Structure 1
């Protein structure tokens, strides 16, 4: 068992209750009155982990059938307080991993196990599904409301799960649900700013949105704010429509600390060119002639720093 799988197994002991009200609204009512359950389904209902584990390891058990069209994994994850350990037993302790159906949908909602784990904010279960069954999981699968796993994570404000899903190679953050909402729209509507920011960057990590520029400007180019956007996935040499990079904006306000941080700590391209072919060095020289420049001494320091760190004067 890989180190990463071990980490996923021991995650989620307390779950993520940051958006519990939203979670309860979208939970499937499959946990209502007890249906006709199979033995493994009954073990889930009674929360009997010992019996459940024995049944999972017994090859005679119909491991995917919890009863009345209930997929076992989806059923285990459907409870208001999910049987987390049982879900993890299914994902890690079955005698034959090929027996487990991780793509089945709940007929009432169209939710898969990934949907159920995501909307509850259980990063460990999501990680296990993606790590062990990534070749089977369809990360862009939509439920009956048109929601993907990313929609549910964004709408519930589970920022760590959003970031985990965005790491998936085939993830599509631009899909719309039945209400014509993208995951970004849902995060914004619900006020989950960090999720919205991560999704904004995910739409194109090499594009420097005006919202990002303004946010960093408002912080006076604080290192922590630049770091925040880089942690959301923004590339250090992302550009806007005019091919301006963050380094050029920092130079434009003579912020030598930000310039040193971008080049020294984050390896920004010191010779990046804007749409007119102008580099950071050109911007710095041009500022010497600008009227009302606040601190020409800082601008001189920036000029010398750029030259020492590879700026091409030709």
Structure 2
């Protein structure tokens, strides 16, 4: 044991002796030339520098000529462009680093291919001892400004050595660097992230949340105006996004002014918490920084408007419960919270506001353009929000109020339907006062942070064309609750071109039905069994597997003939009516077409029923097949009834069919959100 200690002590003494020897040596001064082509470093030299074998390294350097020494020190690099100093600093070779800095001090500011200095690599690797050597050497050369410049040197990512230490979570290295210069805390990189921001963003657990950030907060001088001095993104926003509650509490206690810092879109931390839908953070920040609740971002919205845009009812409730009169929360367009909810299609927020008695004053308020919440819902095709609004009695009292363009909500929805219909069909969008293409695309108007959210009331979202079905649903709803009062006869008026097209289409269908039904009478359906064979095959064991009897088959055939006859006569009458519809005026022709449409629909029904009975007769030997045929025919008959409605009603009244579809959609949407929550 004593022998081992003696050998170790002798080796240490010899290493110290060699170190002092090389430190006392001198090498020819070298002037590096940046335009010299780089060469691959000798692998043995790389190894000596990485393993801190300074004696072998400097023995090789002493052996070469002055010109070759200059090449080794300043021209020869590793594949990443690292010099010998980079290699020794990265691997924590303290002695080799100190000797290289003493004899070749210009290596201190040399950069590799990624513009990293030796200090960058040492900080990224967590080599505190090597960093101490580098810092001490830098302190002993040049002016104080040169030392600061050395610490603040950036690589190709814009990172200082402190950035790299924080990214790699080297706490003691970070503590040492900020003790040398607290200015490093405020410097941003290419991503506009300061070390203070990275300390929040890069934390992975509660302990690391507190440790790195606490180190930095303790290093900031008391008299520093951190709000104006800090560059880049706000660390408070990062704390909100990462739900770092401990960090938020530290900021509120030590540097409350930092809560006022805004992001690149002009939003303060309350805007950030609202956009993320975080209730605790919203309440905490509201209590610590109440002024932020009334600040507007670059889009002109307060935090509560951002929360509404995201459709988060709990965050909205957190704001409303903390202020006496929520009617004062207006954005730059004088839109209240219900305006924003209706425009963005957040029907759950709309329902919440309508259900709050203290917010009734907001319901029919008008914004800067004279729009009520119902106007905005109509304008943006927010069908569910519109449906929620029109069922409110206060909305219904002023449902025909006009906006600044003298348009009611129904007028706005009708205007949108014309534009979106033209866009959907590929036709040119009509111009003029009543058909302004401005309302078609949301990108042509500022959305103030509340337009085009992604949600259940938005089919496409984003800055795209309005959804055809959303607009038509909205128009259908408003037609029933806010449409113009007119005679029902007007619904059956058609244009001349429309009359001609309908006559031609219906006439073709009616003639085809007449031809098919006439052929069906000439070739009556019959069972595939031969006469007399059915009775001879019946036994007590297989009687349950037999099909219909001959008597029942005769009944079915008579029913088939009856419905086929009705279809034939209905189609013939429709054809006759359509033929003489050309001979009279437009009004009478429109009525004739309507009657012919009904007759043609009846003929189709009768023909389908006759077909079901024909199939039943043909497959009558199997009772199970007979039952399936009748049941399937009944289901299909109901479906045919629904899809034939547009044939019976005129196009001007076709909007009626959207309403029952909408009721079903609203029901399924409500069930979906109930199950989700």
Tell me the TM-score normalized by structure 1: 0.48
Which protein is bigger by CA-based radius of gyration?
2
Q: Which has the higher helix share?
A: 2
Kindly indicate whether structure 1 or structure 2 has the higher relative contact order, using CA contacts under 8 Å at least 6 residues apart.
1
